[in-house]
Amino acid sequence: MKTEACGVSRRNFLKFGGVAAAASTLAGSGAAGFAIGRSDDAYTGYGRTYQGADQFFNREPFRCETPAMMDPVGKVERPEWTGYLFLRLRALVTIIKSGEWTPDMGVDKLPGPVGDHYRSRPGELKIMLESLQRSVKRTQAWEDGKHERYALAGAYNMAYRKGGMDNSDRTNRIPADPDDEHMRTGKPVPPEDWDFRGIWRKKPMEFKSPAHASKLVKRMAHQFGMSLVGIAKFDPRFMFKGLMRGMPNKGHETWGDKVPKHWKSIIVFGVPMNWDGTYSAIGYSTSFDAYFRSRCAASLMEQFLKELGHPARAQFPGSNYEIMMSPYVQMAGLGQYSRAGLVMVPELGANFRPAAVITDIEFEYDKPIDVKMADFCLKCKICAEQCPSGAIPFDDTPQTVVRGFKRWRLDEEKCYQQWASGPTQDGLGCRVCVGVCPYSRKNTWIHTISRELEPRDPTGLVADGLLAMQKNFFKFQEAEDYRSDWDGGKESSYHNPPWWLRAENFLNVEKDWEYHGMD
Amino acid sequence: MSRKRVEQILALASICFLFAAWFAGGVRSKGEILEQIKNISSQIQGVTQIRPQVFEGYRRGNPSEKLYIGIAGHPSYGGLLQVAIVVNSNQTIERVALLQDTDTGTYITKVLGNGVLDAFLGHKTSQFPQVDAVSGATLTSTAMIKGVEKAAASIHGSFQPKEKDAFSKEEVVKAAATLGLFLTAVFISSRFFRWNKKYARLGLLGVSTVILGGLYGAQFSLSSFVLLLSGGWTKGLGSYTSLICLILALLFFFTTRKNLYCAMICPFGGVQEGLGRITRCSPPRKREWMKWSARLFTLFAMGMALYFRNASNATYEPFGMVFSFIGSDALFALTILILLASLFVRRPWCTLFCPVTCVFDFLAFVRSWVPFNREPWNEGRKKEVAS
Amino acid sequence: MFPGSTMLNYIFWMMMGALQVLIVMGLVELLKSHGRKIVWWQVSLIYLGFAVFCSVIAGGTTLMGEYETIAGWYFIGVLGLPVVICLAILARLFVMKKKSA
């Protein structure tokens, strides 16, 4: 019979198996109990982020010396302050409002550094002037009826902007800005003054070692609500020239290329924007929920470091910077540069909005990483196909040399033109590229598998497979369809907006529009 | 009236129906071009024709700002793909639009989604950007790119005659391969073939699935029938392989009195048969109503395609989906279901739904009116398939 | 997975684990009823195929959970079909009665 022929009889199998199963169950229960007690999820009110658990990607296997596209191919130049679109825009509007120059006078007569900027870039002034006109149309469209459809999205956006970050009567901005102080008092506020204000200790407290300093500050960044944090050495190559908040006219005429001596390190941190709203860009998305949290953390970090006796200066969004954020985010090992001109991070994809604090503490610096995200951009091009203004380049490989580095260059004038023309209240953002990027995904196990497997695969087959799935399984809109209806579009979105942003779900508005997007 | 009499009347009625649809379609499409131009952009007003293929208008609200519209077509998957471009007086392309799409919707979506037409926007007509074709929809993208180039040239007034790239080396190879497959099939089914017919048939089917289906994606479908009937191929096609395949299938059907295509060459049939042989399942029981509903559906689809002058409107087969992932979401679901069903019944699509089967049935029936026919075509096929 | 509960997650997975044992035992019985020998690597292969199929379903439903419903269906269709075909091949080789010579 069977019992003689096989090694283990049915009865024995069940007996020993049963005991083993019982033992495992006991062990499992013990382990489960322990894990529950220790788990981050037990911290009611203080979720995973505060425990640092949202920085879950192990970067160590991917550390490298230089971030992608940051090996200079020519002489590295620091950017002029006019390179920063929002400062440039403000200056241009001031010139026009003062009557000093009108568009029909042509780019050759445009005065000052703004004129120099546009003269060296033929064709761009035209786009910017067009954007200004479109902004007027956008405001009109908002008043005519879009304020009903996007009532909740607009209110959510403004809640952060006016209720949280920027009560900009020059008394109540978070973080405090030295330019506000200068405008209030009329006196120049150089960084040697501003960065040290509020320090009461006669001597700064010393850290046991740079490694101790890094560990503490990173924990504090998480404690202040930031999902990701990294620390880099302050590299003055990426600081604007002619820009220092707190100096008269922001230092445009007087500051030149000085670098404050106490600017030694930069702590970079940030959070994602709300996921479902971002997937329903343009009209239902906002940057400000993330900006607000990053700005709060910047303000808190500034004050924390000053309490320990060290000078600190926040660099924060919308336009309160002396630096370009993107290179520092890369050098702090948080992520990689992409086709769309954003820095992508493994945990959040393109959905990462950073702020930073510059200080003089000596830290153990993070090294940049290479998780093959930039390589994926070579073949993917989804952001370029989806960009409603065509601002993202289609080049297979990075082609444009900008200030000594060869990378993909976003056409910022075209991009801003879409901001100015979208169905939003304040014209401050489009964000389609952020939502459609394959890396911008929430944290589930299937994305974890892709995220961990793809950079470790030397053949590139995993990336090809993932890209094939992305392009064939996921349906996208036509790029033009994202635009406002008065601009030739359908106000489509990649996903339809979440229930809590649909005005018709809560307010007495008549739904006379169609959703064009996935649910 | 005998049953055969009824079927003969129905057959004649079908032919009349198709002819009527084709005729009505011709009436419909005249004068549509001008309407379509006016619909390209709400920004253009006052459109008048100034040359063949070239129209002039002005920007809404500004009569002094002239806009030029050029139209051109280029042979593509399902016939002539027509593209219109809007050029301003600075010779910059402002808008590109499809006037008439004869290709499957998803080919077009794939190509448009890849920004092929967008890449031209903002460029001067004298400085075209380098635009690559989209893999998996090469014919459609090439047609669009060439269409834009030709439309720009016609605005300039320097229109070049069509190049004959449908006769490239690759196309000749494809045609030769198709002919080779059919000749092999004839050989295997003939009395000169002395070896194991069952394995030879399966072998040829396998080879054909890989070459005609996987490599070329050139399997013919109902839309190929429509293309043949409507004469759309006379204006030029991007690739003639599927049409050649269809003509050869019909030719050999009439001469050998056997449907060699379905039994030995059809790639989708090959896929189903391969799956069925894993589980050794038997063919489904075909009821009478299934046969007639499939035929009615086929007739309707062909009629619509002829009426709208768009051969791709007749496509509801999974062939494109299986080999090139082209098709709607509904077609995808249908394809998966059929492939799963192939594991449980033998060749479910062939026996229950395939419009090609219906057309061959029809042709066989018509042929049976001719006195010299002795062996019904499907007897031979049943024997082949059951072995 | 179970919001508001800290324990249910672990209980759920423990039960899932227990069910796997039942599945394998059932597979063994099935093989016996078809008169086949119980070969351990054959049973493992079939179970592996089943497990892969479950993962594909889970992956597709995760996508659906992320509001990517269409992508979820495509995922299940395109990746699930080859798995089902492989399972059919395994069934033909290891489960179905052998044809008499």
Domain boundaries, chain B: 3-26+166-386, 33-163
Is the pLDDT at B159 greater than 60? The verdict is no
Cα A435 from Cα A438, distance rounded (Å): 8
Mutation pick from C5, C7, C10 vs chain A, by most beta carbons of A within 10 Å, is C10
Cα A351 to Cα A340: distance, rounded to the nearest angstrom:
12
Please check the confidence at residue A327 and state whether its pLDDT lies above 90. yes
Q: B-contacting residues of C 77-96, CB under 8 Å?
A: 77, 81, 84-85, 88-89, 91-92, 96
Q: Residue A479: which of B115, B122, B325 has the nearest Cβ?
A: B115
- According to DSSP, the residues that pair with A315 across neighbouring strands are A356
Apex CA A54: angle with CA A53 and CA A60, to 5°? 85
Nearest CB neighbour to C6, from listed A42, A276, A475: A42
Nearest to C77 among B278, B279, B336 (CB): B336
pLDDT (mean) for B342-370: 85
| Nearest-Cα residue of chain A relative to residue C65 | A444
- Range of weakest confidence among A268-282, B152-166, B244-258: B152-166
Contact at CB, B114 and A478, closer than 8 angstroms: no
- What is the spatial distance between Cα B272 and Cα A110, in angstroms, rounded to a whole number? 71
Residues of chain C positioned with their CB less than 8 A from the CB of A34: none
**Which residues, in sequence order, are bridge partners of residue A407?**
A400
Which carries the bigger pLDDT value, residue B285 or residue B209? B209
Cβ separation B278–C74 shorter than 8 A: no
Q: A404, A72 in Cβ contact below 8 A? A: yes
pLDDT confidence of residue A228: 95
Count CB neighbours of A8 within 10 A: 12
Q: Which position has the higher pLDDT, B50 or A275?
A: A275
pLDDT of A374 higher than 70 = yes
Using the 8-state DSSP alphabet, how is residue C89 labeled?
A: H
Q: Are B241 and B171 a contacting pair, CB within 8 Å? A: yes
Query: Range with the lowest mean pLDDT among A51-60, A73-82, B30-39?
Result: B30-39
d(CA B372, CA C67): 63
pLDDT score recorded for residue B12: 86
Q: Say yes or no: A437 contacts chain B, CB-CB below 8 A.
A: no
| A382, closest residue in chain B (CA to CA) | B114
Rounded to a whole number of angstroms, the distance from the CA of A480 to the nearest CA of chain B is 9
- Cβ <8 Å between A394 and B112: no
- Does A360 score more than 80 pLDDT? yes
Token output for B273? 């048969």
Specify the higher pLDDT residue, A105 or B326.
A105
Most confident among A146-160, B186-200, B347-361, B368-382 (mean pLDDT): A146-160
Nearest to C85 among B275, B280, B333 (CB): B275
For the segment A309-324, what is each residue's pLDDT rounded down to a tens digit? Answer: 999 999 999 889 999 9
Residues of C in contact with B343 (CB under 8 A): 84-85, 88
- pLDDT of amino acid A132: 92
- Give A303's contacts (C-beta < 8 A, 6+ positions apart): A198, A312
Examine the pLDDT at A5 and tell me if it is beyond 60: no
Q: Is pLDDT larger for residue B111 or for residue B161?
A: B111
């031979």: which residue's tokens?
A: B380
Closest-CA distance, C88 to chain B, in angstroms, reads 7
Please report the number of interchain residue pairs, chain A to chain B, with beta-carbon separation below 8 angstroms. Answer: 18
What is the pLDDT averaged over residues A218-235?
Answer: 96
**C2 interfaces chain B, CB cutoff of 8 Å:** no
pLDDT on residue C99: 64
Which residues lie closer than 8 Å to A20 by C-beta, 6 or more apart?
A: none
CB contact under 8 A, B119 and A479: no
**Quick check: C91 and B343 CB within 8 A?**
no
Structural domain spans, chain C? 8-95
**Spatial distance between the Cα atoms of A321 and A243, rounded to a whole number of angstroms:** 9
Taking the CA of residue B268 and the nearest CA in chain A, the distance in Å comes to 21
User: What letters, b where the CB count within 10 A reaches 16 and e where it falls short, cover B81-115?
Assistant: bbbbbbbeeeeebbbbbbbbbbbbebbbbbbbbbb
Write down the pTM of the prediction. Answer: 0.78
C91 interaction partners in chain B (CB closer than 8 Å): 279
Residue of chain A nearest B332, judged by CA positions: A473
Contacts of A25 in chain C (CB under 8 A): 14
pLDDT digits (tens, 9 = 90+) for B47-100: 776 666 777 777 777 777 778 888 777 766 666 677 888 887 777 787 777 766
Mean pLDDT throughout B13-23?
A: 86
Residue B268 has phi, psi (to 5 degrees) of: -70, -35
pLDDT band at B31 (very low <50, low <70, confident <90, very high): low
> Looking at residues B216-235, what average pLDDT do you find?
77
Q: Which two tokens stand for residue A54?
A: 């949202």
Q: Could you tell me what percent of chain B has a pLDDT over 70?
A: 74
Query: B329, C88: Cβ pair inside 8 Å?
Result: no
State residue A125's pLDDT score: 93
Q: Compare CB distances from C92 to B278, B333, B339 and report the shortest one's residue.
A: B278
More confident call, A113 vs A43? A113
Distance from the Cα of C92 to chain A's closest Cα (Å) equals: 25
The residue in chain A having the minimum alpha-carbon distance to the alpha carbon of residue B122 is: A390
Binary contact (C73, B329; C-beta < 8 A): yes
pLDDT band at residue A494 using 50, 70 and 90 as cut-offs: very high
pLDDT tens track for C15-58: 888 888 888 888 888 888 888 888 899 999 998 999 999 889 88
pLDDT digits (tens, 9 = 90+) for A13-38: 666 666 777 777 777 777 777 776 66
CA C32 vs. chain centroid, Å, equals 20
> Which of the residues A473, A476, A496, A502 would you substitute to probe the C interface, choosing the one with the greatest number of C C-beta atoms within 10 Å?
A473
Q: Could you tell me which residues of chain B have a Cβ less than 8 Å from any Cβ in chain A? A: 112-115, 118-119, 121-122, 325, 329
pLDDT of B158 above 60: no
The dihedral through the CA atoms of A350, A353, A358, A361 has a sign that is negative
Helix (H, G, I), strand (E, B) or coil at B236: coil
Give, in degrees to the nearest 5, the angle at Cα A36 between A33 and A39. Answer: 150
DSSP string for residues in B150-211: HHHHHHHT-PPPPP-GGGSHHHHHHHHHHHHHHHHHHHHHSTT--S-HHHHHHHHHHHHIII
Is C92 in Cβ contact with B333 (below 8 Å)? no
Mean pLDDT of chain B: 77
Neighbours of B313 (CB within 10 A): 22
Residues in B closer than 8 angstroms to A475, CB to CB, are 329
> Residues B223-245: what's their mean pLDDT?
76
Name the neighbours of B, counting chains with at least 3 Cβ pairs within 8 A: A, C
Q: Looking at residue A450, what is its pLDDT?
A: 92
> Mutate which of B279, B324, B325 to test chain C, going by most C C-beta atoms within 10 A?
B279
Round to whole Å and give the CA distance between A314 and A79.
20
Measure A109 CA to nearest chain B CA, in Å: 24
Whether residues B325 and A479 touch (CB distance < 8 A) is answered with: no
- pLDDT tens digits, residue range B293-348? 888 888 888 888 788 777 666 677 888 788 888 778 888 998 999 999 999 988 88
Residues of chain B found within 8 Å of residue A384, distances taken between Cβ atoms: 115
R_g (Cα) of chain A, nearest Å: 26
Instruction: Calculate mean pLDDT across residues A272-298.
Output: 93
- Partner residue opposite B115 with nearest CB, options A384, A472, A475: A384
Q: Smallest CA–CA separation between C23 and chain B, in Å?
A: 23
Q: Is A365 on the interface with B (CB under 8 A)?
A: no
Q: In this complex, do B118 and A479 lie within 8 Å of one another by their Cβ atoms?
A: yes
- A63 or B116: which leads in pLDDT: A63
Does residue A428 have a pLDDT over 60? yes
pLDDT for B38 equals 61
Residue B89 near residue B65 (C-beta atoms within 8 A): yes
Q: How confident is the model at residue A384 (pLDDT cuts 50, 70, 90)?
A: very high
* A447 or B143, which is more confident: A447
Mean pLDDT (chain A) is: 90
Contact list, C7 vs chain A (CB under 8 Å) = 32, 36
Nearest Cβ partner for C88 among B329, B333, B343? B343
Q: Where are the alpha helices (DSSP H) in A42-123?
A: 85-98, 112-119
Determine the Cα–Cα distance for residues B343 and B273; give it in Å rounded to an integer.
9
Q: How far is CA A444 from CA A28, A348, A448, A494, in A?
A: 24, 12, 6, 20
- What is residue B273's three-state secondary structure? helix
pLDDT at A329: 97
Contacts of B339 in chain C (CB under 8 A): 81
Residue B156 has pLDDT above 50, yes or no: yes
For residue B334, what is the nearest residue in chain C, using CA coordinates?
C77
Question: What is the tens place of the pLDDT at every residue in C53-99?
Answer: 988 988 888 888 888 888 999 999 999 999 999 999 999 888 887 76
**Number of Cβ within a 10 Å radius of residue B375:** 9
Closest CA to B318 of B339, B341, B303, B302: B339
Chain A hits for B118, CB-CB cut-off 8 Å, are 385, 390, 479
Q: What are phi and psi of B93, to 5 degrees?
A: -75, 120
What is the C-alpha separation between B207 and B214, in angstroms, rounded? 10
Tell me the chain B residues in contact with residue C73 when contact means C-beta distances shorter than 8 Å: 329, 332-333
Please determine, for residue C3, whether its predicted confidence score (pLDDT) is greater than 50: yes
Q: Using CB atoms, pick whichever of C18, C65, C69 lies closest to residue A519.
A: C69
**Contact: B279, C84; criterion CB under 8 Å:** no
**Is residue A370 predicted with pLDDT exceeding 90?**
yes
Amino acid B204 reads: L
- Of residues A182 and B42, more confidence is placed in A182
The answer on pLDDT for A453 being more than 70 is yes
Percent of chain B topping pLDDT 90: 5
The sign of the dihedral angle between the CA atoms of C33, C39, C40, C42 is negative
Residue B161 binned pLDDT confidence (cut-offs 50, 70, 90): very low
The closest alpha carbon to B74, from B235, B259, B281, B315, belongs to B235
Q: What is the gyration radius of the CA atoms in chain B, in angstroms?
A: 24
Query: What does the pLDDT read at residue C101?
Result: 45
Share of chain A above pLDDT 70, in %: 93
Reduced to 3 states (helix: H, G, I; strand: E, B; else coil), residue C97 is: coil
Q: List the subunits that have 3+ CB pairs under 8 angstroms with C.
A: A, B
